[in-house]
Amino acid sequence: MLAKCMEPRVKNSSAIRAMFEAGVEMAKIYGKENVYDFSLGNPNVPAPPEVNKALIEVIQNEDPIKLHGYMVNAGFEETRTAIAENLNKRFGAHLDMSNIVMTAGAGLALNLVLRSILDIDDEIVVTAPYFVDYTNYVSNYHGKLVLVDSVPEKNFAPDMDDLRAKITPRTKGMLINSPNNPTGAIYSEETIKEIAAILEEKQQEYGHVIYLIADEPYRELVYDGSDVPFVPHYYDNTLVCYSFSKGLSLAGERIGYVLIPDESDNSAEFKTAISIANRISGGINAPSVMQLALAKCLDAKVDIDFYAKNAKVLYDGLTEAGFQCVKPQGAFYMWVKSPMADESEFIADMKEKHILCTPGSAFAGPGYVRISYCVAYETIVNAMPGFKELGKKYFG
């Protein structure tokens, strides 16, 4: 009944579902307020008020046919122009609407890029740990995801020797995700430059384009004044896959874009390819009313302090209890070293304290766990006694 490639996905999903159902069962027994679920990545901060204001404004005032109708597959001109101008202002870029293709979020943006560049058995390199669904995105088109080691001591930058070794004649791109899910790390300018140099070298060697695909749903969620380099400044064949899911708390609305710089190889043809990929993926275009609203509220910001406060109390509490954590520079995840090599024991111990989070192995990062802190502040505070008890048990 199912395609062969779908079978393991469905089987694996049942395991995740079992974990989710265990959480629901625990909530029934102990009360929802006594179960501390840090497993999901759903923003817990409302969209800024400008978004709903803009939505109501376009619903009430826009031409009714335009409001909910098709537009060109790349999206409304005013939205793409507003985004280009916003990026020009913030990063000194020289973009116009032709550089932006609106998509139903970064997940679809990545799929459109992969659809456009992958033939069967082509390769994409990515550093581990990485967002789980990258494997599925690449295998949707029968490509292969090739893992490159990262260096925890260097803020999870790629092991540059390993990166060089893993790029083959079949490599069509490298996927990066900074701020990172699951580590919360941000690639420094130096790291981006080193990556760019290696990709340039390999493009020369193999005589074809190797794209640097920057998955940036967490670009706006940064702490302590951290800087996220604007990748197209460092490498011509960059493609940015952006989402408003986290920066404007619009995860359910599916709105984002692919940015194709003019400096990239044969950019006019590639822009057309991404638009076509949008159409033939069945996505067709990003949702109409949300595109129109977005053009009016691009300067809005979610309450970053909410996440910053959560990050601080969680980091301080866990390190005090003896745990080794990566201090988050961005996103809303904390990457915590498991006291035991096999983190499933740590996960089991936490479960006894009613704490749920995701094993690092799910991100190809065994020996760690991911604690998602896009939760109520109280959840962290109330979970802390459990963490402290575990700290005492492990570290005395």
Residues numbered 106 to 135 that lie near a second copy (CB under 8 A) are 106-112, 115-120, 122, 133
347 binds a second copy (CB under 8 A): no
Out of 91, 96, 146, 287, the only residue in the binding site for a second copy (CB under 8 A) is: 287
395 binds a second copy (CB under 8 A): no
10 binds a second copy (CB under 8 A): yes
Out of 15, 24, 280, 348, the only residue in the binding site for a second copy (CB under 8 A) is: 280
User: What's the min distance (Å) between Cβ of 79 and a second copy?
Assistant: 12
Instruction: Count residues binding a second copy (CB under 8 A).
Output: 81
User: What's the min distance (Å) between Cβ of 151 and a second copy?
Assistant: 29
User: What's the min distance (Å) between Cβ of 20 and a second copy?
Assistant: 9
Which CB, 9 or 32, lies closer to a second copy? Answer: 9
The helix (run of H) or strand (run of E) holding residue 145 is strand 144-148
What string of DSSP letters covers 260-311? --TTSTTHHHHHHHHHHHHHHTT--SS-HHHHHHHTT-TT----HHHHHHHH
Cα angle at 158 between 315 and 368, to 5 degrees? 40
Torsion of CA 204, 206, 212, 213, to 10 degrees: 160
Per-residue tokens: 247: 């920066």
Which CB, 198 or 290, lies closer to a second copy? Answer: 290
78-82 contacts at long range (C-beta below 8 A, 24 or more positions apart): 78/292, 78/295, 79/291, 79/292, 79/294, 79/295, 80/257, 81/295, 82/294, 82/295, 82/298
Nearest-Å Rg of the Cα atoms of the chain is 21
User: What's the min distance (Å) between Cβ of 299 and a second copy?
Assistant: 18
Label the pairing between strands 144-148 and 358-359: unpaired
* Phi and psi at residue 255, to the nearest 5°: -140, 130
Residues numbered 313 to 342 that lie near a second copy (CB under 8 A) are none
24 binds a second copy (CB under 8 A): no
253 binds a second copy (CB under 8 A): yes
15 binds a second copy (CB under 8 A): no
Which CB, 5 or 165, lies closer to a second copy? Answer: 5
Out of 265, 299, 303, 320, the only residue in the binding site for a second copy (CB under 8 A) is: 265
Return the half-sphere exposure (C-beta side, CA atoms, 13 A cut-off) of residue 253.
27
Out of 250, 258, 331, 362, the only residue in the binding site for a second copy (CB under 8 A) is: 250
Sign of CA dihedral 33, 36, 39, 40: positive
269 binds a second copy (CB under 8 A): yes
Which CB, 58 or 384, lies closer to a second copy? Answer: 58
Which CB, 75 or 229, lies closer to a second copy? Answer: 75
Residues 155-181, buried b or exposed e (16+ Cβ, 10 A)?
A: bbbbebeebeebbeeebbbbbbbbbbb
Which CB, 286 or 369, lies closer to a second copy? Answer: 286
Say how far apart CA 46 and CA 306 lie, in whole Å.
Answer: 11
User: Tokens 């493609």 sit at which residue?
Assistant: 239
Window of 86-94, 287-295, 306-314, 357-365 that interacts with a second copy by CB under 8 A? 287-295
User: What's the min distance (Å) between Cβ of 227 and a second copy?
Assistant: 28
**CA distances (Å), 381 to each of 34, 226, 355, 362, in order?**
11, 26, 12, 26
Out of 26, 36, 105, 349, the only residue in the binding site for a second copy (CB under 8 A) is: 105
Window of 158-166, 275-283, 307-315, 339-347 that interacts with a second copy by CB under 8 A? 275-283
Out of 31, 70, 303, 378, the only residue in the binding site for a second copy (CB under 8 A) is: 70
The helix (run of H) or strand (run of E) holding residue 96 is none
Window of 7-15, 189-197, 228-236, 382-390 that interacts with a second copy by CB under 8 A? 7-15
Q: Please tell me the chain's helix, strand, coil percentages from 3-state DSSP, rounded to the nearest 5.
A: 50, 15, 35
Residues numbered 47 to 66 that lie near a second copy (CB under 8 A) are 47, 51-52, 55-56, 59-60, 64-65
